[in-house]
Amino acid sequence: MKYFILFIISLFTIIPIKSKNMTDSLYVPRYESTFFTSSKSQAFFCDACGCAAGNGSSGFESLLNPQFIGIKYLAQHYKAKENLFVEDLTQDQYFNILQLWGKIPVNEKLSIYGSIPFQFHSKKTLQGDISISGIGDASLMGIYELVKSKNSFHQINAGLGVKIPLGKFDEKGITGVNPSFQLGTGSWDYQLAMNYKFQKDRFAMLINTDYTIKTENKKHYQFGDQWNYSATAFYRLWNSTQSVLSGKIGFQGEVFDWNRQFSEVMPKTAGSALYGKAGFEVSFSKLSLGTELMLRAYTNLAGGDIEAKSRFSLFLNFGL
């Protein structure tokens, strides 16, 4: 599956779009975008981030300043089979992430993205509630603008990154129905990301894909590789010289490979999920606020023993 997914990602690089050399300065003024206003504009960008080990990702497309620091909250809800001898999914599992993130430009085309999450997860069992909390795995990624059309309607960006294993991996946690109930994978993982943007007047479309290669940790456990994909349509509802309000709607999917222990495949660890999503983003001067609600359209996780339910995210960013 790994090579098939990498092939799909590579298809983005052959979209026939004219490119031109950028003449903007490093980051002042902000990149031009007719989607916002002619006097003060922002840009679409794909900023990769995600859960350390949960069966999901936070989603990473948004209308953000080209360079920013901010904070993001992500809540995920799952149902799991607590008792293997019954068919009902009775165990509620909640994954919560409070993340500090930012993107700093290196030159006209290259930016560095980084994030550090604090996680607090809980699940309800017959023996009582179980909670874990602490710092998660940090992410660091270089994001490069590959192509930008002459009329600025089309743009392709690519990213290459690494996940640093700062979060605690509990070997006892892998014996439960959801081995991803962890603060971290305990492994150095690597990510490839790419996005395509179409933008004209009040409308924009953003297509994202990323693939995470997960390696074996010191406990000889390896979480399965993960492929995320999404498509989101944005529409500018209102704008002035200082502020912008836009709505968005789309879908996001995730595919998980098998987990392995001592190189042996672990049963009921692969799967996939698909969400529909909607939200809005508003900016005022250098501040950007956004929120998104995701509802499950399809789920087949852990052989049916885990069911994805919903997600909610909220972020506040300050443009540099």
What are 225-281's pLDDT values in tens digits? 999 999 999 999 998 888 999 999 999 999 999 999 999 999 999 999 999 999 999
Give the CATH number of the domain where residue 97 resides.
Answer: 2.40.160.40
Is 63's pLDDT higher than 80? no
| pLDDT average, residue stretch 6-20 | 40
Residue 13 is assigned to a structural domain of this protein: no
Calpha distance 308→304 (Å, rounded): 10
Residue 258 is assigned to a structural domain of this protein: yes
Instruction: Give the chain's domain count.
Output: 1
Residue 30 is assigned to a structural domain of this protein: no
What are 117-164's pLDDT values in tens digits? 999 999 988 888 999 999 999 999 999 999 998 888 999 999 999 999
CB atoms within 10 A of CB 18: 11
Residue 207 is assigned to a structural domain of this protein: yes
Q: Are 10 and 2 in contact (CB under 8 A)?
A: no
| Residue 145, amino acid | E
Residue 9 is assigned to a structural domain of this protein: no
Calpha distance 180→307 (Å, rounded): 13
**What is the pairing mode between strands 221-222 and 260-261?**
antiparallel
Residue 81 is assigned to a structural domain of this protein: yes
Is 65's pLDDT higher than 70? no
Q: Are 311 and 56 in contact (CB under 8 A)?
A: yes
Structure tokens given for 196: 């395509």
Q: End-to-end CA distance of the chain: give it in Å, rounded.
A: 40
Residue 93 is assigned to a structural domain of this protein: yes
Domain extent for 149 = 68-319
Calpha distance 309→232 (Å, rounded): 20
The pTM of this model reads 0.81
- Rg (alpha carbons) of the chain, rounded to whole number: 20
The secondary structure of 138-168 as a DSSP string is EEEEEEEEEEE-TTSSEEEEEEEEEEE--S-
What's the pLDDT score for residue 275? 97
Residue 31 is assigned to a structural domain of this protein: no
Average pLDDT, the chain: 82
